Amino acid sequence: MTTRSDASGPQFPEERVDRIRRKLLRWYEEFARDLPWRRTRDPYAVLVSEIMLQQTQVDRVRPYYDRFLECFPTANDLAAAPTSDVIRLWAGLGYNRRAVNLQRAAQVVCRDYGGTFPRDVAELRKLPGVGAYTAGAVAAFAFEEDVAFLDTNMRRVVERLEFGSRTLTDREVIIAAERLLPPGQSWTWNQALIEFGALQCTARKPACVICPLQQECTAFPTIQSELAAKQTQPRQASVAFETTSRYFRGRVVDALRSLPPSDQQGLDLADLGSRVREDFTAEDTPWLLDLVRGLQRDGLARIREESPPYDDGQSTSDLEIRVHLP
């Protein structure tokens, strides 16, 4: 029997690899959702979808994806747009920094690559906001390059199939993913892995009883008891999202986004603070200033100071600071 093996991974009999491929691709052919970004090979449109899908559910992304491409149909259009317009269009999608990074990526493509997206993973990773997963996704879904990459769903499927519940390194999992990848079928295979992890092999309630890969799955004999044991473990107390900096950062951006596009003055700190927190007082001004300075570093806001810069020894009442979208 022919096998593929590596010191850091398990044995991979070719017959078993072939069975996994056939079964998973057959499942995908039957159950794959019709998603708009699966109907294109345009690397720009693929990148837009992948950035939007980061930590955001598919159903929420769909209308934003269509609307975004209507407003900015090409990388050149996005690169040349006012950043404030991009941030406004992103309203409601969350993680606003993604909008700025997406525009910066488009600008780099236009400036350094003549408007043509690179197809090499290493080159794609040089783009702002593009990590290993996103670079692999663009290479596979736009250019159909044979490349293995992993998001949370994909990793879970590979881990359960090949390793059971063993603790793994990233290298072990990516080696396994590379072995499972059928040559010449990167687009379909990676889409199938994503879909299977999202719909069938889910984190909390995998449908093991009706799973087509049940006989091939290393985790199947023990997965139900292990999941049940995890559910009985006490959960750590979580911090309410409404008290976090990310929540208030979003409130600041929403307040600035609510201003008419023609408004070049923005909001002063007192007005902005009252829109961000109902209990805002002058004593909270240093906190708010730190918050908006962080947003300015991320390209999500712009601060105009009409007096000397703020420092620890200066009274907040001496400040004439206004904040607006970039």
Q: Are 201 and 38 in contact (CB under 8 A)?
A: no
Cα separation, 274 vs 296, in Å, equals 20
Q: Mean pLDDT throughout 2-15?
A: 57
Domain enclosing residue 306, as ranges: 241-324
Residue 16: name the closest of 218, 240, 255 by CA: 218
Cα separation, 163 vs 1, in Å, equals 21
Instruction: State yes or no: pLDDT of 165 exceeds 50.
Output: yes
> Do 210 and 225 reside in the same domain of the chain?
yes
> Do 261 and 122 reside in the same domain of the chain?
no
pTM of the model: 0.84
Residue 283 binned pLDDT confidence (cut-offs 50, 70, 90): confident
* b/e map 144-176, b = 16+ CB within 10 Å: bebbbbbbebbbbbbbbbbbbeeebeeebbbbb
What total number of domains does the chain contain?
3
pLDDT of residue 111: 96
Active-site hit among 15, 30, 50, 159: 50
The per-residue pLDDT for range 183-212, each reduced to its tens digit, is 999 999 999 999 999 999 998 889 999 999
To the nearest whole percent, how much of the chain has pLDDT over 90?
57
> Do 262 and 316 reside in the same domain of the chain?
yes
> Do 117 and 187 reside in the same domain of the chain?
no
> Do 249 and 305 reside in the same domain of the chain?
yes
Question: Is 50 an active-site residue?
Answer: yes
> Do 152 and 13 reside in the same domain of the chain?
yes
Cα separation, 325 vs 268, in Å, equals 13
Q: Which one-letter DSSP state was computed for residue 243?
A: G
Which CATH number belongs to the domain containing residue 118 in this structure? 1.10.340.30
Cα separation, 201 vs 157, in Å, equals 6
Q: Name the amino acid, one letter, at 88.
A: R
Q: Mean pLDDT throughout 16-36?
A: 96
- For 257, other C-beta atoms within 10 Å of its C-beta total 18
